[in-house]
Amino acid sequence: MAAYNSDLPKGLDLPLQDVRVLDLSRVFAGPLCGQVLADFGADVVKIEHPSRGDDTRDWGIRIGKTETTYFNGMNRNKRSVTLDLKNPDAVRIIYEMLPQFDVVIHNFKTGDAEKLGVGYEQLKAIKNDIVYCAIAGYDSSGPEATRPGYDLIIQGESGLMAINGEANRPPLKFGVSVVDFMTGMYAAQAVLAALFRREQTGLGRLIEMALYDCGVMVTSYQGLDALKLGHDSPRYGNAHPSIVPYAMFEAADGPLMIAVGNNSQFDKFCRQVLERPDIADDQRFSTNVGRSQNRVDLVELLNELLLGFKRDDLLERMTSAGIPCGKVSGLHEALTSERTRRGNLVQEMAHPVEGTTPVYAPPYRLDGHRLPIRSRPPTLGEDTRSVLQELLSMSDEQLQQLKERGALSLPETASSVGVG
């Protein structure tokens, strides 16, 4: 097992500790769904190709021999088993293990799971109460069902890029794979709902998630604005489309965020922070509707005034006045900040090659405790031997035979590295 940490906070009961998940997915959306379930206590067994593993083991900055920063972002708290699903012996192993699983996740193109022998009807025939989550690029019942789904493409197709970026610049993709991310979260919610219903009815469920569908959902109120207007709203970059001032501004020594959410806050901002009551008294700016209509004039005025302040002075003044504000941090600066350290959001985990490696902690808190990292992201196939011996009582001789037939690979040595 991949360095599981059994030292949980006293009294912390993980909600999914009796759930077992077969994660056949790769890259981002599916693995993130599996990681969410793992964070809540599920035993997630990640199935990977024997030689190359998950595609993301080759994306990002290398960690050890088989992991990368990209892979590690979606695969904590899991066990890795290598099986080549194009090998009949490997598919037979899936069938034999399946009765011990509650959930299956995959993100094959529509129709590919059935070709491999792991489609919903094929697995339901073995375990009729399985919760089966299939993630694809597009609606499985539509004409684009077999198109592969890529976050970048769907950010463009769904209109997300059209709402991101500056008004005088081309559409801009988000800095992370936001469609994949939200699809993984939506998928995890659907799995949890299906598991809850299964407790009441004893019935499993087929869940189908499409990246395009989730990309459209991410457009949120911006999309509804466009439908109401009959055309795209302007892009506002780091500013809010309907609240002013609610944006990034430059102080004399660096950027900061200012979020004036109502008229009372604006009055305090002008009088107490800027010491300019005349701006608060200006009828053009007395309401948010007025500030939105006169955005250009107000922002130009604020830009000039704010450059006359040191950033820390501004932040102190706004905090005292109850104005939401914050420093714009670099990514490394944010991840090494006192706030992040105090929240224990990034933890150093023992690693068999690197010595230690940073791993994000789950964002969830239950009963006053952050959910624990029970295991670091696994090396490729790290748990193949232990999982198949545990679930199917396979002998070393049987495992070696399966390896020779190309069904799986085995780690050179079983890792005994603990959690740091």
Tens digit of pLDDT for each residue in 139-164? Answer: 999 999 999 999 999 999 999 999 99
The reported pLDDT for the residue numbered 168 is: 87
* Residue 57 C-alpha from the chain's centroid: 17
Per-residue exposure over 354-375, b if at least 16 CB sit within 10 Å of its own CB, e if not: eeebbbebbeeeeeeebbbbbb
114 plus 197 within the same structural domain: yes
What integer is the mean pLDDT of 288-309? 96
Give me the number of domains the chain comprises: 2
Question: Strands 43-48, 67-68: parallel, antiparallel or unpaired by DSSP?
Answer: unpaired
State how far the Cα of 363 lies from the Cα of 372, in Å rounded to an integer: 10
- 384 neighbors 48 (Cβ within 8 angstroms): no
State how far the Cα of 388 lies from the Cα of 377, in Å rounded to an integer: 19
pLDDT tier at 18, thresholds 50, 70, 90: very high
CATH at 280: 3.30.1540.10
Half-sphere exposure at residue 12, Cβ-oriented, CA atoms within 13 angstroms: 19
Per-residue exposure over 175-192, b if at least 16 CB sit within 10 Å of its own CB, e if not: eebbbbbbbbebbbebbb
How distant, in Å, are the alpha carbons of 15, 47, 290, 383 from that of 37?
A: 9, 16, 46, 18
Q: Report residue 67 as tokens.
A: 């992991």
Q: Report residue 5 as tokens.
A: 């940490």
Q: Report residue 230 as tokens.
A: 């009959």
Q: Does residue 241 lie in a domain region? A: no
347 plus 206 within the same structural domain: yes
386 plus 315 within the same structural domain: no
The reported pLDDT for the residue numbered 412 is: 74
- pLDDT tens digit string along 74-121? 999 999 999 999 999 999 999 999 999 999 999 999 999 999 999 999
Half-sphere exposure at residue 181, Cβ-oriented, CA atoms within 13 angstroms: 10
Query: Cβ contacts of residue 153 below 8 Å, gap of 6+?
Result: none
- 43 neighbors 79 (Cβ within 8 angstroms): yes
Q: Does residue 178 lie in a domain region? A: yes
Q: Does residue 411 lie in a domain region? A: no
- The answer, yes or no, to whether the previous bond of 245 is cis (omega within 30 of 0) is yes
375 plus 288 within the same structural domain: no
278 plus 160 within the same structural domain: no
Q: Which of 36, 78, 33 is nearest to 53 (CA)?
A: 78
Report the 10 Å Cβ neighbour count for 330: 8
30 plus 167 within the same structural domain: yes
Q: Report residue 141 as tokens.
A: 């019942």
Q: Report residue 337 as tokens.
A: 């900040």
138 plus 277 within the same structural domain: no
Q: Does residue 6 lie in a domain region? A: no
Q: Does residue 205 lie in a domain region? A: yes
Predicted model pTM: 0.91
Q: What are phi and psi of 407, to 5 degrees?
A: -75, -30
* Residue 398 C-alpha from the chain's centroid: 38
- pLDDT tens digit string along 188-227? 999 999 999 999 999 999 999 999 999 999 999 999 999 9
What integer is the mean pLDDT of 311-332? 96
What integer is the mean pLDDT of 394-419? 81
Q: Is the pLDDT of residue 407 over 70?
A: yes
Tell me the catalytic residues: 180
Residue with tokens 């396979």: 394
Share of the chain above pLDDT 70, in %: 95
Q: Which domain holds residue 372?
A: 20-218+343-404
128 plus 276 within the same structural domain: no
State how far the Cα of 163 lies from the Cα of 87, in Å rounded to an integer: 45
State how far the Cα of 77 lies from the Cα of 372, in Å rounded to an integer: 9
How distant, in Å, are the alpha carbons of 19, 90, 197, 343, 409 from that of 42?
A: 5, 23, 17, 23, 24
Q: Does residue 348 lie in a domain region? A: yes
Mean predicted lDDT score pLDDT of the chain: 94
Q: Does residue 358 lie in a domain region? A: yes
317 plus 358 within the same structural domain: no
The reported pLDDT for the residue numbered 413 is: 56
The reported pLDDT for the residue numbered 22 is: 98
* Residue 118 C-alpha from the chain's centroid: 25
Question: Strands 205-210, 131-136: parallel, antiparallel or unpaired by DSSP?
Answer: parallel
pLDDT tier at 8, thresholds 50, 70, 90: low
Q: Give percent helix, percent strand, percent coil of the chain, each to the nearest 5.
A: 40, 15, 45
264 plus 171 within the same structural domain: no
Higher pLDDT, 5 or 119: 119
Domain stops at, among 275, 303, 332: 332
259 plus 121 within the same structural domain: no
Q: Which of 119, 134, 103 is nearest to 38 (CA)?
A: 103
The reported pLDDT for the residue numbered 12 is: 79
Domain stops at, among 332, 360, 391: 332
What integer is the mean pLDDT of 61-67? 96
State how far the Cα of 298 lies from the Cα of 284, in Å rounded to an integer: 9
CATH at 353: 3.40.50.10540
pLDDT tier at 242, thresholds 50, 70, 90: confident
Q: What are phi and psi of 399, to 5 degrees?
A: -60, -40
Bridge partners of 348, per DSSP, are: 358
Q: Does residue 223 lie in a domain region? A: no
Q: Report residue 293 as tokens.
A: 């209509």
The reported pLDDT for the residue numbered 5 is: 46
Lowest mean pLDDT segment, chosen from 5-14, 63-72, 299-308: 5-14
What integer is the mean pLDDT of 22-43? 98
The reported pLDDT for the residue numbered 27 is: 96
∠ at Cα 182 (178, 184), nearest 5°?
A: 120
Q: What are phi and psi of 40, to 5 degrees?
A: -85, 10
303 plus 175 within the same structural domain: no
* Residue 216 C-alpha from the chain's centroid: 17
Domain stops at, among 332, 359, 383: 332
